[in-house]
Amino acid sequence: MALYRRIPGAIAVITLTNPPVNALSCTVREAIYETVKRATADQEVKAIVLCGANGKFCGGADIKEFSREMRGPPLVPMIDMIEESEKPVVAVIEGVAFGGGLELALGCHYRIAHSGAQVGLTEVTLGLLPAAGGTQRLPRLIGVPAALDIITTGRHVSAQEAVRLGIVDKVTDSSAMEEAIEFAKTVAGEPMGPRRLSLWTAACPEDLDSLLEGALVRIRQRSRGALAPVACVQAVRAAASLPFAQGMKKEQELMAYLFTSGQARAMQYCFFTQRAAARWTTPSGASWENTKARPVRQAAVIGLGTMGKGIAVSLSRAGIPVIAVETEQKRLKAGRKAVNSMLTRESQKRGLAEAHLGSISFTLDLRKLRDTDLVIEAVFEDMALKKQIFSKLSSVCRPDALLCTNTSGLNIDEIASAASRPELVVGTHFFAPAHVMKLLEVVCGPRTSPVAVATAMQLAKRLEKIGVVVGNCSGFVGNRMMRPYTEQAYYLLEEGARPEEVDLVLEEFGFAMGIFRVMDLSGLDVGWRSRKELGLTGPKLPPGTEARSRGGKRYSPLPDILCESGRLGQKTGRGWYLYEKERVATPDPWLQSFLEDYRSRFGIQSRRVGQDEILERCLYSLINEGFRILQEGIAASPEDIDVIYVSGYGWPRHRGGPMFYAWMVGLPKVLDKLEHYHRTHPDIPNLAPSSMLRKLVARGSPPVHQWRALIQQHSSQL
Ligand SMILES: CCCCCCC/C=C/C(=O)SCCNC(=O)CCNC(=O)[C@H](O)C(C)(C)COP(=O)(O)OP(=O)(O)OC[C@H]1O[C@@H](n2cnc3c(N)ncnc32)[C@H](O)[C@@H]1OP(=O)(O)O
């Protein structure tokens, strides 16, 4: 709703009241209409102040309403009515003014913001565009180039930048409300015509076409295949070239097209699932409701390799004092140097004062961890080494200290078996670079206590990461699903495809990089090491093993052969691609002839592999593994899997996540295709459709939010 009160000085104050973010729900819109009409009709009122309750102006349109039939007064005429008011309307921007919230403020005649406020036209992040006049008013207010950037990225703009750009008229460190009231008194009675943005002309550069073209190029690089940012560019073009009314018509047409697109649905699904994952209720009944996280006043990181360094920076940035431990003086020195320079870069980039960073001390002595609340082990993926560390930690640390391992796939329970209190051992799987990537898989072993999970999830929040609780199995959720995906990519090469063909299909789907480019970037030796550990290749492989088969299942030795010949990816200048210029991948003629030789050596008839087959075999095998994960109770819900993929594996947000995508494609189609590919490749068991997928199809393919209820609770690992 919106509360109305009249205060001395002939001012009407209208307060949007819809916790937690004062979203513009049907009821709020109705109340704004009514209160603005009341204020304009009231002879005693000379000016109007519009604010939000609880220190937040407005979080925009109510996203929950987008999936229902629209009711109540629409936003556009409501904002027009405010702009047309003869009495000045002053918006008080505290907290946030996002999406429709900022559009509402743009309809007001003046905007006064608190210095801590943020504004933005964030609709593009939900697959939409600012269709309450935002695409037409913002360019008129601040010019086309700056508006184009804000509208197409949906980025949050600080109050300081907002006043610099002219989005707000004034910023104050003290009470924005009081400032606005005093200001409103000074403009009461003035004509409002010059303050109506709809009457302005957008300042436009001479080379408008090249500005818009440049924006489209950046959009294609950043979010391939996403419709909303492209529509935003079209709407801004309309603002630059058409009268306001026609621009508004164009804005509405584009919105109608986006609103019903699967992409908007997918991105709104992402918005809600990310928040649902943070609420983490497990099938065994643990949740924030009944479990309290332990306070983390001091943390430690063991191992200052790539991951350890990023984790230490992440902790320090959250203001948590850190003890960083290494085994050798040389490594400690190198680690200290790297961490300190990362922190300096961070504080320069984010404007963080050193006082806000948690202190980091460096030591070779594990005994220094005796007062630590939480330890994160980030050493090599070596089970024996990890067990040795956990055993030592048990004797050095406080008995209630939480012991976390950053393994990316080893058995948490086996690691926990070396600790004296296995219930306090939990997996915290960070993603590289750990101080940048948002995802944290919180891995729960069979003996991990709810308190340990709650503490790790609370830590994720403090580190501004998205924590998702998963069960213990090889590779957990994310890496486990990657295996069948990469295997399919190798098989496709064996059968006739080229790396650049596979990558192009995946990039056109929306991944920032295709799988072969990703492998080249992270180093082919990472997978090679783990395949050697598993005895799939290298010295542990029993003599006489067939080159293309392991345990009766198809195996591709292609990546092993590349590694053996020193092609480890970008770092050696060669991998699946050639890197003559640093980081620039070019198709390698050597690889092409190597693949031809390989095929003729193994009698494989090379064929042209179509784009659909590339996409389906890569994605459906990954999705199929997701269904197995659900079946085994390793993830609590399909939404959790989707959050993991969107926030940690570059799955395009406008595709919702693998499980949502499967549902959008149609579960019967996914099942049918998997059956087809499995019939064609019976030696690839990953292609055999999972029973969970069959079950969902048999139940009529219910929407994703209903799957959780169908997952057998007794098989849950959580
Ligand atoms: C054809 C008809 C349409 C015409 C209108 C078209 C023009 C307008 C479009 C829009 O305005 S779209 C919405 C634009 N707004 C946003 O993108 C903001 C989204 N929200 C956020 O970014 C954040 O929530 C926040 C505002 C920065 C607050 O962050 P914080 O971390 O403090 O809290 P959260 O956990 O994110 O949110 C708390 C709670 O509130 C729910 N929520 C937030 N924003 C909205 C919203 N706009 N609509 C509905 N609900 C919202 C959020 O889901 C959380 O709920 P729970 O998970 O706790 O249930």
pLDDT at 347: 80
- CB-based contacts of 383: which residues, under 8 Å, 6+ apart? 410, 411, 414, 415
Please state, in angstroms and rounded to a whole number, the distance separating the CA atoms of residues 93 and 594: 63
Q: Which residue has the higher pLDDT, 350 or 316?
A: 316
pLDDT > 90? residue 594 = yes
Query: Over the stretch 316-325, which tens digit does the pLDDT of each residue have?
Result: 999 999 999 9
> DSSP secondary-structure letter at 380?
-
Phi, psi (rounded to 5 degrees) for 88 = -60, 135
Query: Over the stretch 457-500, which tens digit does the pLDDT of each residue have?
Result: 999 999 999 999 999 999 999 999 999 999 999 999 999 999 99
pLDDT at 709: 87
pLDDT at 357: 73
pLDDT at 521: 93
Range name among 301-315, 356-370, 625-639 with the lowest pLDDT average:
356-370
Q: Closest by alpha carbon to 522, among 564, 468, 576, 565?
A: 576
Q: Which residues line ligand 1 (CB under 6 A)?
A: 20-21, 23, 59-64, 70, 75, 96, 98-100, 122-123, 126, 128, 130-132, 255, 259, 275
* Residue 13: burial class (beta carbons within 10 Å; 0-12, 13-18, 19+): buried
Please state, in angstroms and rounded to a whole number, the distance separating the CA atoms of residues 349 and 371: 32
What's the 124 CA to ligand 1 centre distance in angstroms?
A: 13
CB of 401 closer than 8 Å to CB of 372: yes
CATH, range 2-259:
3.90.226.10
CB of 637 closer than 8 Å to CB of 527: no
pLDDT at 711: 79
pLDDT > 90? residue 530 = no
Number of H helices, E strands in the chain: 28, 19
pLDDT at 665: 97
Entry pTM: 0.94
pLDDT confidence bin for 526, thresholds 50/70/90: confident
CA of 98, closest atom in ligand 1:
15
pLDDT at 693: 97
Please state, in angstroms and rounded to a whole number, the distance separating the CA atoms of residues 476 and 442: 10
Phi, psi (rounded to 5 degrees) for 589 = -60, -30
pLDDT confidence bin for 353, thresholds 50/70/90: low
List the domain boundaries for the chain.
Answer: 2-259, 299-476, 489-601, 611-711
CB of 452 closer than 8 Å to CB of 417: no
Task: Indicate the residue type of 360.
Answer: I
Bond from prior residue into 658 cis (ω within 30 degrees of 0)? no
Cβ neighbours of 656 (radius 10 Å): 28
Cβ neighbours of 191 (radius 10 Å): 8
Positive/negative CA dihedral, 388, 390, 391, 396: positive
Whether the domain at 2-259 and the domain at 611-711 fall into the same CATH topology = no
pLDDT > 70? residue 167 = yes
- CB-based contacts of 430: which residues, under 8 Å, 6+ apart? 307, 310, 311, 314, 378, 406, 437, 440
Cβ neighbours of 322 (radius 10 Å): 25
Concerning whether 103 is annotated as a catalytic residue, the answer is yes
pLDDT > 70? residue 714 = no
Strands 322-325 and 299-302: parallel
ipTM confidence: 0.99
CA of 271, closest atom in ligand 1:
53
Cβ neighbours of 90 (radius 10 Å): 27
Percent pLDDT > 70 in the chain is 99
Per-residue pLDDT, averaged over 422-429, amounts to 97
* Residue 89: burial class (beta carbons within 10 Å; 0-12, 13-18, 19+): buried
pLDDT at 355: 58
> Of how many residues is the chain composed?
718
pLDDT > 70? residue 713 = no
Instruction: Give me the CATH topology for the region 299-476.
Output: Rossmann fold (3.40.50)
pLDDT confidence bin for 284, thresholds 50/70/90: confident
Per-residue pLDDT, averaged over 169-190, amounts to 97
Query: Over the stretch 220-269, which tens digit does the pLDDT of each residue have?
Result: 888 889 999 999 999 999 999 999 999 999 999 999 999 989 999 999 99
pLDDT confidence bin for 276, thresholds 50/70/90: very high
pLDDT at 354: 63
Please state, in angstroms and rounded to a whole number, the distance separating the CA atoms of residues 226 and 263: 7
Residue nearest to atom 48 of ligand 1 (CA): 62
pLDDT confidence bin for 287, thresholds 50/70/90: confident
Query: Over the stretch 373-405, which tens digit does the pLDDT of each residue have?
Result: 999 999 988 899 999 999 999 999 999 999 999
What's the 271 CA to ligand 1 centre distance in angstroms?
A: 8
Per-residue pLDDT, averaged over 694-703, amounts to 96
What's the 61 CA to ligand 1 centre distance in angstroms?
A: 8
Please state, in angstroms and rounded to a whole number, the distance separating the CA atoms of residues 317 and 353: 10
User: Which tokens hold the place of 685?
Assistant: 């068991």
Residue nearest to atom 29 of ligand 1 (CA): 21
pLDDT confidence bin for 139, thresholds 50/70/90: very high
CA of 132, closest atom in ligand 1:
7
Query: Over the stretch 613-654, which tens digit does the pLDDT of each residue have?
Result: 999 999 999 999 999 999 999 999 999 999 999 999 999 999
The residue assigned the tokens 């064609």 is 680
Mutate to test the pocket of ligand 1, among 21, 129, 135, 643 (most ligand atoms within 8 A of CB): 21
CATH 1.10.3210.10 fits 611-711, yes or no: no
Q: How far is CA 394 from the centre of its chain?
A: 35
CB of 687 closer than 8 Å to CB of 677: yes
Set 83, 94, 123, 500: catalytic member: 123
CB of 406 closer than 8 Å to CB of 377: yes
> DSSP secondary-structure letter at 650?
-
SS (H, E, C) 155-217: CCEEHHHHHHHCCCCEEECCCHHHHHHHHHHHHCCCCCHHHCHHHCCCCCCCCHHHHHHHHHH
Helix (H, G, I), strand (E, B) or coil at 413: helix
pLDDT at 282: 79
What's the 109 CA to ligand 1 centre distance in angstroms?
A: 25
Bond from prior residue into 446 cis (ω within 30 degrees of 0)? no
User: What are the distances in angstroms from CA 381 to CA 429, 486, 564?
Assistant: 12, 20, 21
* Residue 539: burial class (beta carbons within 10 Å; 0-12, 13-18, 19+): exposed
CATH superfamily of 489-601: N-(1-d-carboxylethyl)-l-norvaline Dehydrogenase; domain 2 (1.10.1040.10)
SS (H, E, C) 497-545: CCHHHHHHHHHHHCCCCCHHHHHHHHCHHHHHHHHHHCCCCHHHCCCCC
Please state, in angstroms and rounded to a whole number, the distance separating the CA atoms of residues 264 and 248: 20
pLDDT at 712: 67
